[in-house]
Structure 1
């Protein structure tokens, strides 16, 4: 079976190389969130910029909602094996394959956008190196607005979290909530709303932006600003596809990537506040955590970060030591 997959990948690359030789390139970009998502919209704008800067010679087709069939932990391998040329990837979800990609979703490591950007810039060379290891070129990354807890009941203390069935987006989030007495649940984003409706879960660890997109005011009441993390989504391209492009086409893609990265960082901060206002208009209550809850969260976060750092080596560990409080 592996031999057959290798042959198919070779045939796909051969067809692509012939297309590049002809001067026009079409690349599919797998987007794991729906068309209205902040990151999918960024990918769509990125595609427009690439077409513009390449004078129409490179066209990227964005496929929202994981419609190409790739949605989670398998994404690094899917791009590596050229099952899909490009993808938008939530870093924390693939941290099991590459440790360094778990940094942006470490709990309470940074507390604002300025710190999150500084952490990203320090980690970017590590992300680029890790992507190369997985046969792909790292193009850009941008954060979700900070993750909070969206719940049916108000969260004032650790006791309120006990047994709370919370959908989390990666292993760090699951460990964090488990330390606080919660019951983390892993599931695809597309199943979250119906699971809230049916009682499979009763809360979500996510951003104001995602809470807005999911219309969570219909099933939940409170958003607690716990500033859990500023998780990153990255866009990468299979390295064989990348090398098949002309130098001018590569320059066009990198120019577009740099531009959209800057814009998406600004958009993320703006959307944090604008989405919060929309949640309020629909009757949701937005609170800051109590001092008791802050103390408990910091204790849980410290334990998880310490465990993470045991596996960190060299430059990765050096970067983390700069931010560990």
Structure 2
């Protein structure tokens, strides 16, 4: 009888420990729900499919059905997602670094127009250089970046012909990132603030002449119907980083945690080529929709980069200090 009481007491202590720590028994087959605060939804794009469909499916498979990722779209804003993760309101989240540059400017290094113009390099640079830097900042927040989704295929879109830097003069633009707004103004244009959903009717009514976006997003949103030109010139790219709280990861048994982390890493390595191919295919799709694609010459592209260095790079370097300078140099060296 005493042995039974001791056994019961021991079992009770173990059970209580699991409740208090949130740990998941290694033999548990009960599903664990991870809420994913997805802050920037772009339906119809590969970016959206990867984050809201493929990633949940692959993590579920890697964890033998235990980890169930539930995307929460439009519930948490970009400005609030870091706080939501730190306060355990969600276990996962996405952050588009171009929209948090005022708070975390270092993360937006690839938003610098003219820094990386080769779309095939974006995935490598974001995974090997930018993501580890973000991880340093997020570690003290109890957050881990696990997958970077680079916005390959950024372009300028206009209903007026733009074949050189001089053609920017006088145009009214809707831009999707503060750094691009600074560049647009430097090039002699003006910017107009408006929600993305209002862009199509604004183009139809000629309230704006042009806008910045990505080729996949332009095609997916139907803007090709009201767009005459797609201009390929230095623009920069805004990464979307997928994050998981350390608390959620630590609650998993070691073997399960390792499998989940390995699967996130596999996703991270596989998606850049697919995103770049989506851009290439998107160019052809845009052409078939009647959009004329204009590629800036090397000379005109260099003029855009020079303007960007004056209007954007200098301020970014002031904001980020020595750490930003070192990061910028590492990215530039990777290009060579």
TM-score range, shorter chain: 0.7 to 0.9
Q: TM-score, normalised by structure 1?
A: 0.85
SS at match of 1:312: helix
Does the 8 A contact of 1:45 with 1:260 survive in 2?
A: no
Matched residue, 1:158: 165
Structure 1 residues 291 and 256: alpha-carbon distance in aligned structure 2, compared to 1, 3 A threshold: closer
Tell me, in whole angstroms, the C-alpha distance in 2 between the residues paired with 1:133 and 1:200: 45
Matched, 1:319 2:327: yes
* Cα displacement (A) at 1:317: 2.1
Deviations 1:52-111 (A, max 9, x none): 011111000123xx332x243333223233333212221111122212111121111012
Q: Could you tell me which of 86, 94, 103 is aligned with 2:92?
A: 86
* Cα displacement (A) at 1:118: 4.4
* Structure 1 unpaired stretches of 5+: 1-13
- Which structure 1 residue ranges, 4+ long, deviate > 6 Å from structure 2? 14-17
Does the 8 A contact of 2:47 with 2:275 survive in 1?
A: no
RMSD: 2.6
Matched, 1:72 2:78: yes
SS at match of 2:212: strand
Tell me, in whole angstroms, the C-alpha distance in 2 between the residues paired with 1:183 and 1:16: 56
Structure 1 residues 133 and 187: alpha-carbon distance in aligned structure 2, compared to 1, 3 A threshold: farther
Structure 1 residues 226 and 243: alpha-carbon distance in aligned structure 2, compared to 1, 3 A threshold: same
Q: Over alpha carbons, which structure has the higher Rg?
A: 2
Matched residue, 1:210: 217
Structure 1 residues 122 and 35: alpha-carbon distance in aligned structure 2, compared to 1, 3 A threshold: same
Matched, 1:172 2:179: yes
Deviations 1:176-222 (A, max 9, x none): 11111222344443443344344443322122111111122211110
Q: TM-score, normalised by structure 2?
A: 0.82
Q: Could you tell me which of 109, 113, 117 is aligned with 1:111?
A: 117
* Structure 2 unpaired stretches of 5+: 1-17
* Cα displacement (A) at 1:160: 2.6
Matched, 1:278 2:307: no
SS at match of 1:27: strand
